[in-house]
A and B are shown apart, each in its own frame.
Chain A
Amino acid sequence: MRTTITTCCWSGWQRSKLGSDLFAIFCRNSVLAIPQLLNRRSFASLQTSKRQTRKRMIDAFYIFTKGGLLLWSTQLVKVKGNPIDRLIKEVLLEERVGETFATLDSYNLKWKLLNEMDLFFVVVYQGILQMAYLEGLLSMAAKEFNHHIANFGSGLTIKHVDFDQDFLRCRQKADKELKESRRPGGMRSFADTKKGADVQKNREEKGLPAPAKKGKSGGADGDKDEDDEEDDAAKVAEARAKLTKAKGKKDGNSKEKDAEASKPKKGKEARHWDGGKVSKSLMQELDFSKNKPDEADLAAKQAEFLGSGDDEDFDAEVESLSSGSEAEEEKKDDGRVGGLFKSLTRGVKNITGGAVLTEEDLEPILKKFKTELMTRNVAAEVADKLSESVRRSLVGKTTGRFTSMASTVKQALKESMETLLTPKKSIDVLRAALAAKNAGRVYTIVFLGVNGVGKSTNLAKVAYYLKHKGGLDVLICACDTFRAGAVEQLKTHSRCLDVPLFERGYGKDPAEIAKNAIAHAKSNGHDVVLVDTAGRMQDNEPLMRALAKLVAINSPDLVLFVGEALVGNDAIDQVTKFNRSLVDLSADPRNPRGIDGMLLTKYDTVDDKVGAALSMVYVTGQPVVFVGTGQKYTHLRKMQAKEVVKTLLG
């Protein structure tokens, strides 16, 4: 009995244990499943919220005038910082209006300029959006806004516009267009494309038969094969006929080819492997030497490969390619009378003024100015971008009274170049050095550049300027530990200038030397440290890294890029790469140090080809601090923006 009970209990307990296990398992699973369930629910809500955010694609939209009035703005999402302010200061005032797209911090901005009303439309967004959507939105908003303010009049009377409803409409329209464009369409066949249409047209003109179209949805396979075979054979015959057509080939050959082409496909013939005597007929059959290439055959083969030079198909293709230009010429012929009148009015308006500038007017004028700039040693890319920016700002404007279009463009170019060459921050090195002296700091300047531009020479000039005109205590640091004679050259300069030199010979780490020099200056009471570095090519990765390390470790007050005025298109490459290396490897990624200013050397060797200054300033946005004009210590001066512009524009 007890055993029964025990066994019962035992089994019961086992079962209960089992049950409890099962229960435990069940509990565990359900507990584990809960977050999944929750996730699924939250996932669903995330989906909807994602859908919602996807709808609210742009972050903000601003409309403001060139004069500084904010006419309307909307912030769909709270915008951090002030991207519009940065946009104006860093892009629009830098004559980069033509780019219409910029990235600042985490925001992307795209803008549109309405020249007639001097209005900017800017859309701010994060992430990636389709350009077509943004452009559509901007142009629609511009049109709506135009309607809106047409009622209010013009000028400075409008200060704030209630644009909310219209903007919502624009956005909805743009969203709809985007959705429609996303729907996939079918592939076009060749005949539906423009090129196909042109080829077809040419074919018709020449009287050629249209190529047999293979039906897409064919019938039975067997039929299809037969059709294919017939088509192939017909095509081959056609091609061969064309090849042999014009030059008077022998009929026999063409007939032979026709016969060959029209013969049905031969099956494989059985080989005769008779061991015994070969019959004469068989010998003849097997003697392929009979079909020796004779004259007629040779001519036929030549025709086949060399062609008659009169291939219509090929011509049709070539014509379709050049049909574009033909169409243009036709248009010109048609509008000749109307064009003459138009050109007359344009000519008159050119003298009296009051003409509205259009793209066609600006194109040749800007091209002329662009080539003129390039002959003055401005880099091609910079001249291009500058004329693009000027073009964008002039399209739609009316010329003043008695000013020709050329002079309007010249004036606009002059103004934009002057704006570019005017420094956007103070470049008074002496004042900054004096301020640092008053604050008890050591003012450090680093000179960097490619080989042979004149770093050491101009460093000596700057030392002379700071010492004799500013009364500062200067220390020269020789961080060029590579070039033979670099330290000796600086020793000579330091003796001439009576300025101490900090050097550690050749082969050492320049960053270390610079650090020690600054410490030495601090302890010995020097005011300014001028650091000379070795010249290096902008493509040399390890050397650029070493330079960036030097700048990052010592964080100098002024990083001067030394460039020579003789450099042409390489200027932009040099400056961009140097700047980028410094920025990429700077000590504080949130506050990257790039090039602070430029020193233009050998200015006396270029007479009027002073374009290098413009190229370098355009690419970096930093000013030219000094200009070196000779070999002596006093041959150092500041750049005059107006003078350079006058030389460039003539």
Chain B
Amino acid sequence: MEALRQATGSIEAFLGVGSSTALVLTWLVILLSVYVSLQLFQVFSGNALGRSRRSRGNVTLMLGQCGSGKTATFFRLRDGEEVQTVSSLQLQRDSFPIKAGENPDQQLSSVEVIDFPGHLRMRGKANDMLPEARCIIYLVDSDDKPKLKDVAEHFYELLTNRDMLELHTPILIACNKSDLSTARSEKFIVEEIEREIEQMRVSRGATLEGQDQADSYLGIDGEKFKLMEHSPCTIQTCKISAKKNEIQPVYDFLIEQYSA
């Protein structure tokens, strides 16, 4: 208080203004200095500790190609029933409890899940939602081999995405439609994706004017690309079938992500 009165007096004398104005000015100066110091502190603390100031959101993002079963799995997760679906035109988001088993620590009270359309045209919007995601469930149609090319391309884009590189969001590759007889195994799908990405490293690495080469590089130069080892995010795989209600691995993944 003494210091305050002194400061007010000095400002009054210096500027030749009334006492009340001087008081207001003093307070303003104090607030300003506090604000500036806080900013500096934040900057320095961030740099010193070396961790990213940004943190992941709290949402589970369901991505995948058109027809891989995202909407069907969404409704299975939520209500446990089978639904008829058509291609989604816009996203669906809802919060609901997850029950993986009878054990109380195998249950979550509320998990927010977003089911995003798989159409390529919505890809830009999907990329905008990546910072919000706590984890990603990527559904793959195990039956559709030609589509794996597009899956690999999407993966390449995800793994070179700036937000993903910063946040290291874990991805679960869920090979859907495993109840079909022509469904491929997880190992096959992962190998196929790796092979396609290997090819893409050449084509994507060849950047045109205006693009940064470092931005689009994946893996280690000279070595063959391995999905599990070289990707910036932790990737797990599993086999599910939304039709037959065999989605236990998804529950386990979610429990693991949200309890951590």
Contacts and interface: CB of A to CB of B under 8 A. Distances in A.
A159 B80 CA distance: 12
B89 interface: yes
Contact of B121 (A93, A431, A438, A635): A93
Nearest to B85: A68
Interface size band for B: 35 or more
Binding site secondary structure of chain B: mixed
A69 interface: yes
Contacts of A159: 75, 79, 81, 83
Interface stretch (A14-22, A450-458, A636-644): A636-644
Interface stretch (A3-11, A81-89, A483-491, A515-523): A81-89
B86 A68 contact: yes
Given A159-B79, A159-B83, A160-B83, A66 B119 contact: no
Of the candidates B90, B199, B200, B203, the one having the most CB atoms from chain A within 10 angstroms of its own CB is B203
Contacts of B204: 428, 431
Interface stretch (B6-14, B161-169, B207-215): B207-215
A89 B124 contact: no
Contacts of A423: 120-121
Q: Which of B79, B85, B94 has the most CB of A within 10 A?
A: B85
B86 A422 contact: no
Interface in B31-90: 66, 71, 75, 78-79, 81, 83-90
A66 B88 CA distance: 6
B87 A636 contact: no
B4 interface: no
Main secondary structure of the interface of A (DSSP, over half): mixed
B92 interface: yes
Contacts of B92: 67-68, 156
A423 B206 CA distance: 19
Contact of B209 (A68, A415, A430, A629): A629
A426 interface: yes
Contact of A88 (B83, B89, B115, B210): B89
B132 interface: no
B202 A470 contact: yes
Interface in B80-111: 81, 83-92, 94
A425 B153 CA distance: 11
Contact of B153 (A66, A428, A469, A636): A428
Interface string A68-88: 111001000000000011001
A73 B92 CA distance: 21
Nearest to B96: A156
Nearest to B208: A637
Given A419-B121, A470-B203, A638 B89 contact: no
B224 interface: no
A435 to B, nearest CB: 7
Contacts of B230: none
A419 B206 CA distance: 26
Interface in A267-292: none
A418 interface: yes
Interface string A471-486: 1000000000000000
5 contacts: A66-B88, A156-B78, A422-B123, A425-B120, A431-B204
CB-CB nearest 7 A-B residue pairs: A469-B206, A68-B88, A430-B203, A431-B203, A67-B92, A70-B84, A68-B71
